[in-house]
Amino acid sequence: MPLSRLSVPADLWKASRRFQSVAPLLKPKRDAIRALINQIEKEKGAAKLPFVDTHGRVHSYLRISLTEKCNLRCLYCMPEEGVQLTPPSNLLTSDEIVRLVELFASHGIDKIRLTGGEPTIRRDIVEIVERIRNIDGIVDIGLTSNGIVLAKKLRQLKEAGLTKVNISLDTLVDHKFTLMTRRNGFAKVMKSIDLAEALFPTVKINTVVMRNINDDEVNDFVNLTKNRVSLISNYSCVVWLANKINAKMSPHFQRLDVRFIEYMPFGGNHFSTKKFIDFKALLAIINQKYNGLVKRLQDAPHATTKAFKIAGFKGQFGFITSMSDHFCGTCNRLRITADGNLKVCLHGNAEVSMRDLLRRHASSDEISDVIQKAVTRKKKQHADYRDGKSPTYAQSAYDSHWRITKCDLYSSVITSSLSRLLPFVSNISTIRLCSKESSNICDEISVVASHISNGFSHVSKDGSAKQVDISHKPVSFREAVAEGKIKLTQELVHQIKNNTSRKGDVLNIARIASVMGAKLTASLIPLCHNITISYVHTEFRLDENECVLFIRTTARTTANTGIEMEALTACTIAALTVYDMCKAVTQEMVISDIRLISKSGGKTEYKAVSNF
């Protein structure tokens, strides 16, 4: 209600009006006082401001990946052959991890979780836990493990300061465990769970549920949340182990909490919507058995889990609904990858290298500033939920064939992408968005910003385009690898395999075209430097079963700038040449997944998983 409509004495009303008239005059003094207070607090070593995004989310939880390696090959996580690993020299050292935790702790981070890969593979994990425990402000150190070798290190980890343990287990059937993880080890995981229960008040089990694979075990997992004393056959052995390491038995001994995780797309897991089952369907399965006994619990602040409990059971169960009902609104998490990149969102592709900052001896204030800028760019919710609307089914985030056809979504995606440029635009400009598919989504968007950031090296301070000066960079050997693929028909596969195309040798001509394309890169890409190319070679792999031609281009140079644009251009031209050579037979071809696989020799190196 407006102040003018309140019943207040006339004198009070006049006084308030006088204050409003002089308030603007007091603002400079008030700001100066605040600045002085901040300076005094800084000199006294007071805690720094927390990392807060533009949506008001205060970040207090940091997840750190200690390694990319894993001793399992779970179906939903990675391909059977594993993933291409980062060179050891590019991974964070224990000293670098500790320094980052110290810095984050100074900004209010008080909860750390160590993940992987499989974190227990790392030899210095006990040392890392102990050093983190001694950092002021850290009150909680958790670990997520698959349990294969956890039992061997759990005693030392507990003594070092570990406070919480989550163990991943997707089946309670031994032979199914082998099928789902492509490895043996079910007994080792159960041993780790037994020992963890003896050492910690609560142990959480993380279970990824997939339709027609392990959804028939949901109630078996719920049954684990009973008082486990009556369920463990080797209970006396567990007590002996606990006494052996002088572990104090908790009054909450034998409590297991189970968290059902919705199946999500990750690179290399061949995500299929047929395997996806949302939490409502899982809850219906549980209600069918425990009708009337399922109780909804109050979720903790920033919880990722919708918590439930069976009446009379000691533990509880819950659902992590990343796909069907996201929890982005309360997200307080930041992530550091094993190679030192900061991710503000699990589902986002944006990363900022903390490792590079540490290794060029950046100050804590510099690193903090970079972190805050990254947090400021954190979106309201992750990319699978555009414009507040979730997909009607679980769609793979890596599906290159996903096309948005609704006009409102198409427009919102473009607008969202442009909004990322706001911090980098120095003056007012008008951008007109037009679509051939629909005239209804042509809008004029005014982009206004007060300053320009150094985030774009090809943009000068006045907003104009400029070429990067590389004259000061050292000359070195550089290599880049790019890959792509083209979907073919069965007839085209036959012609390419047998070299019966009327136009000639498809693959050899495409290979020559890729070399020509690499040479013309500087003419095609604005602001790209013209460099001496030492080597360009394109390879092809024909998958007859999938009717896919995979393309891989390697480019090399000895120069003072990278050659990745040449590799990408050559790979693209090779794919386009194949299309041109085959279009007389059919236009039913799809070129996709043109991407950089690796680059080396420059200031930063990059490696991704190859599909070739």
How far apart CA 334 and CA 61 sit, in angstroms, is 6
In this prediction, residue 459 has a pLDDT band, given cuts at 50, 70 and 90, of low
pLDDT of residue 37: 60
Say what percent of the chain tops pLDDT 90.
Answer: 53
Confidence check: pLDDT of 18 > 60? no
pLDDT of residue 346: 79
pLDDT tens sequence across 77-133? 777 666 778 889 999 999 999 999 999 999 999 999 999 899 999 999 999 999 999
- Using CA atoms, how far residue 354 sits from 112, 174, 375, 510, in Å, is 17, 41, 13, 40
DSSP annotation of 604 reads S
In this prediction, residue 250 has a pLDDT band, given cuts at 50, 70 and 90, of very low
- More confident of the two residues 394 and 216: 216
Confidence check: pLDDT of 370 > 60? yes
Confidence check: pLDDT of 298 > 60? yes
- More confident of the two residues 9 and 460: 460
Q: Apex CA 184: angle with CA 183 and CA 190, to 5°?
A: 125
In this prediction, residue 604 has a pLDDT band, given cuts at 50, 70 and 90, of confident
- Please provide the size of the chain in residues: 612
pLDDT tens sequence across 475-525? 889 999 999 999 999 999 999 999 999 889 999 999 999 999 999 999 999
In this prediction, residue 158 has a pLDDT band, given cuts at 50, 70 and 90, of very high
pLDDT of residue 398: 31
pLDDT of residue 172: 95
pLDDT tens sequence across 341-351? 999 987 777 88
In this prediction, residue 431 has a pLDDT band, given cuts at 50, 70 and 90, of very low
* CB neighbourhood size of 509 (10 A): 17
Report cis status (omega within 30 of 0) of the bond before 161: no
The domains located in the chain, with CATH, are 58-371 (3.20.20.70), 404-466 (no CATH), 476-607 (3.30.70.640)
Average pLDDT estimate for 297-319: 89
Say what percent of the chain tops pLDDT 70.
Answer: 72
The kind and range of the H/E element at 541 are: strand 535-543
Provide the whole-model pTM. Answer: 0.56
pLDDT of residue 8: 44
pLDDT of residue 358: 96
Of 222, 226, 245, 242, the closest CA to residue 234 belongs to 242
pLDDT tens sequence across 219-231? 999 999 987 653 4
DSSP string spanning 465-509?
B-----TTSPPEEEEEEEEEEEE--HHHHHHHHHT--TT--HHHH
The answer to which of 14-23, 149-158, 400-409 has the lowest mean pLDDT is: 400-409
Residue 51, SS3 per DSSP: strand
- More confident of the two residues 368 and 24: 368
Which amino acid is it at 406?
Answer: K
How far apart CA 105 and CA 121 sit, in angstroms, is 25
Query: Do 124 and 95 touch, CB atoms closer than 8 A?
Result: no
* Residues labelled catalytic: 580
How far apart CA 49 and CA 108 sit, in angstroms, is 7
Confidence check: pLDDT of 21 > 80? no
